[in-house]
Amino acid sequence: MCGRTACTLASDEVSRACSYRNRGGQRRQPRWRDGDADKYRPSYNKSPQSMSPVLLSQRHFDKSAPVDECVLASMRWGLVPAWFKENDPSKMQYSTNNCRSENILEKKTYKDPLIKGQRCVILADGFYEWRRQGKDKQPFFIYFPQTQGTSKEKTEDDPATSARNKENSETACPPEEASPDLTEEGEAPGEWTGWKLLTMAGLFDCWTPPGGGEPLYTYSVITVNTSQSLESIHDRMPAILDGEEEVRRWLDFGEVKSQDALKMLQSKNSLTFHPVSSLVNNSRNNSPECLQPVDLNSIKESKPTASSKMMMSWLKSSAPSKRKEPNTCESKKEQEIKAEAQCKSTGALQQWLQGANKKPRTK
């Protein structure tokens, strides 16, 4: 299952982080649907009913759009089927936060969107899962392994890391010079060197109140049997799309038919994880401490792993000024002083988490 995620990037960073190549090999940076960037709020602790960034084909909104054009949208977690007759979606009697890949074709709620090609990719830093330990449950944060030193500043300081990152980036994302392209603003989209977002397969639907009103776009995360690497935590996991090609095929509902798309939903051993504090158990808690690695044998923080170090480094070194800020009584000058102090400190996952004097708002 998947009942809690984190997505701490600002809206413009999300767009840069999920750039893609079209069929012609040109790199594109997906734009947000009109107004949707403002509906999204970064959060360390996203729960169902909140708005999350979702990637999907532009053809769902514009039939004349190129078949391989993608767009970002803010959608509410918890699918509300188009045929739902109540005026209030909260009156649904069953949970649609997740849908099991094995049962998609057996339930109208999910079968209809699948047949219509309404496939999407849910974007997140990672997701939380709880391992049962007797009467207690221990939360873990699960995410893609991160390449150490993705920050350009750190890469330039370390030639060995620079060479390693160059090799990794060329494998996952060929250099921009190979096929230059322009964004709508007329600027070439730079290669993303920040946090590698987790890409989860999902289905979405559009519900309109029977009495009329604004359409509501919602989604469900598809789950599969867990992988060997995660079976000690839980027996289910989100269906992960690993790499640009898998994301492209899942979204291309014209070329890749439903039955072929379902075959892509497999458990994968491509994720890493670390234990976190029970602070995340309460969805109202929304702070960097939710992601902080802990030592299961003591109360104190654990020694960060390579990937968790990268997470802290990214949180700390990424530009706080670009993120949506919560309501705060701090003066702008105080915030600038804090941001400057954070940029000067060193260390990895610790930097990322402590560095966002930006505590994202939940919504």
Between the alpha carbon of residue 344 and those of residues 8, 192, 337, 347, the distances in Å are 21, 22, 11, 10
Q: Which residue has the tokens 């469900």?
A: 220
Is residue 301 annotated as a catalytic residue, yes or no? no
- DSSP codes joined into one string, 225-293: EPPTTTTTT-SEEE-B--SHHHHHHHH-TTTS-HHHHHTT----S--EEEEB-GGGGSTT--SGGGT-B
Set 86, 129, 156, 289: catalytic member: 129
User: Does the annotation mark 2 as catalytic?
Assistant: yes
Hey, is 21 helix, strand or coil? strand
> Residue 128 is inside which H or E element, if any?
strand 126-133
Give the CA-trace dihedral at 309, 310, 315, 318, to 10 degrees. Answer: 140
| Token pair for 295 | 């030592």
- 3-state helix, strand and coil shares in percent for the chain, rounded to the nearest 5: 30, 25, 45
Start-end of H helices in the chain? 11-17, 36-39, 108-115, 152-157, 159-172, 244-251, 258-262, 306-317, 332-344, 349-355
Q: Which residues are catalytic?
A: 2, 129
